[in-house]
Structure 1
């Protein structure tokens, strides 16, 4: 298993940060559909003070910026941007994954996804680039053209590209819809332009003619969750996906990592994967 560290980046506020933290806080509040009064109650403040902060009539304290960001569920990277816009130093570091300070995290990740074998498991960053993967994932990539496997490996490109896994996914239209909807939710949460660019790229990929929408609904009807049904060495394997993140992260890199595991969706898939290590 190889680990690829994301590059170190300095948090930069959006152009609207020129007017201080107020416009940014208002934008996050409106996006979360929270009223000034509701936010004030959550943060132990007053609607009047929230209004003054948003219009620039009051400069929030560093503690208030962080409190409001927490109650608005602002991503860690964007909390740094809010602090910068308010005139404070960023609070959360962005440590490269190969830094010695994250050695325990890397070891824990490797043990976690290694212990999940023979089932596929991987770790991705905020742009769905693979930073770690176990042998179960590598097995599924068998036959993918080498140019699509050049680092950084991106799970969305690998899955939806017409020369990637897409032609092998039996219920591609449904699985594609699930992945694009997931990306849309993350764009709304993070307001990331690179993520939006990735979404526009993969959403424009043509759907292979082999995708048969009429058969897909019938095939997946008996499953307890929407599976990915993929052809592999002459048989169809079915997986359901589970995604987990780190709780209360204090580092941007850690906050943007997600562990995805692919669980067998039927006994036949589980038996086949177990047979590969017997």
Structure 2
């Protein structure tokens, strides 16, 4: 278990490695993007990112800041046992659920760098439907057969339940928490954001369709299988290209490629136009 270090927020960059600082910038960007695209719940919920080269340590938001306020320096560094390693002097600590929900997944899934949890309106609505996410749109079909489900047991502040959440996630990158919300993971921060962005949109589309109170046009099984195969194949191609082609953009190459890396640089430019303070 590490020893906690409290330092002035203005000194954080000089106190961490270049790899950690880069991760802090991308994670702060992810928080800002979640706010920009309407996937926040006031100061609640959490996104965590494992620090490269320090598998037991991850970054998470200070409990009390809005997502649109998060900066690279404000993130808190904790370990998978619950100890705070680096605490900026902003006066905010970590939401206990941010530890109980994220730490078991980080421990069980070393292939994942980033975990995003939301209580969005559409995501929570779909989580309460018996059928869960339906393959009613191309956006939803990309996740078909790749989603785990976990039954609601109350707020996720029990170590025993969070172990069951990890078990229900299994080999998937997406988990729908029944009557609760959504969870998306990725081998990189851009990949996790991409998964949550499209998962949220799939839920919004489903709610819109069901609200129309008109007969639905379900796709054929062949169409679903074709869509799943297409998206999976494209993701592998993008990943391989990002890892082997030096001309691929920095966002894709530096963040494990696949879906998410391709558009990440453009999203960072969007944030820079809105407010570049996330980088500080």
TM range (shorter): under 0.3
Which protein is bigger by CA-based radius of gyration? 1
Relative to its length, the structure with more strand (as a share) is 2
Q: TM-score, normalised by structure 2?
A: 0.26
